Amino acid sequence: MFRPNPNKTAEFVNFTDGVCDIAHPGEEDPYLHVPFGFVTISATRYYNALNSDVHIKEVIQIPQQRCLQASSIVSIGENRYIVKEVQHKNYTLPKTTVLSLAED
């Protein structure tokens, strides 16, 4: 069970950059249609991915979705991405899922 640090204040997050569609790998029909917000790609995340031969194109955050897997397909407008990393954050309001995306 998550126990927040009483000395740390929660980070308030909004999802105002648009709506994305998320589909299972190999499927065209999305099973999630959720709002998202872009997140700046940190140097650490970017270079760790490059060391693994993965080129991170975008990082987004969505309302927390525990059903996601690292090979899901995300569509933002005309662009399609494959999820390379899923990270759940319980210390934000609301709780979020951060997705590292590479070109499909």
Mean pLDDT (10-residue bins), the chain, 104 residues: 65 94 92 95 74 85 92 95 93 94 89
pTM for the full model?
0.85
Residue 60 resides in a domain: yes
Q: So what's the pLDDT on residue 43?
A: 79
Residue 47: HSE in the Cβ half-sphere, 13 Å Cα cutoff: 3
Question: Which region, left, alpha or beta, applies to residue 57 given φ > 0 means left and ψ of -120 to 50 means alpha?
Answer: alpha
Distance (Å, rounded) from C-alpha 41 to C-alpha 57? 9
The range of the structural domain enclosing residue 68 comes to 13-103
Residue 95 resides in a domain: yes
Number of domains composing the chain: 1
Q: So what's the pLDDT on residue 3?
A: 61
Residue 7 resides in a domain: no
Q: So what's the pLDDT on residue 102?
A: 93
Task: Give yes or no for a contact between 101 and 56, defined as CB atoms under 8 angstroms apart.
Answer: yes
Q: So what's the pLDDT on residue 77?
A: 94
CATH code of 98's domain: 2.40.10
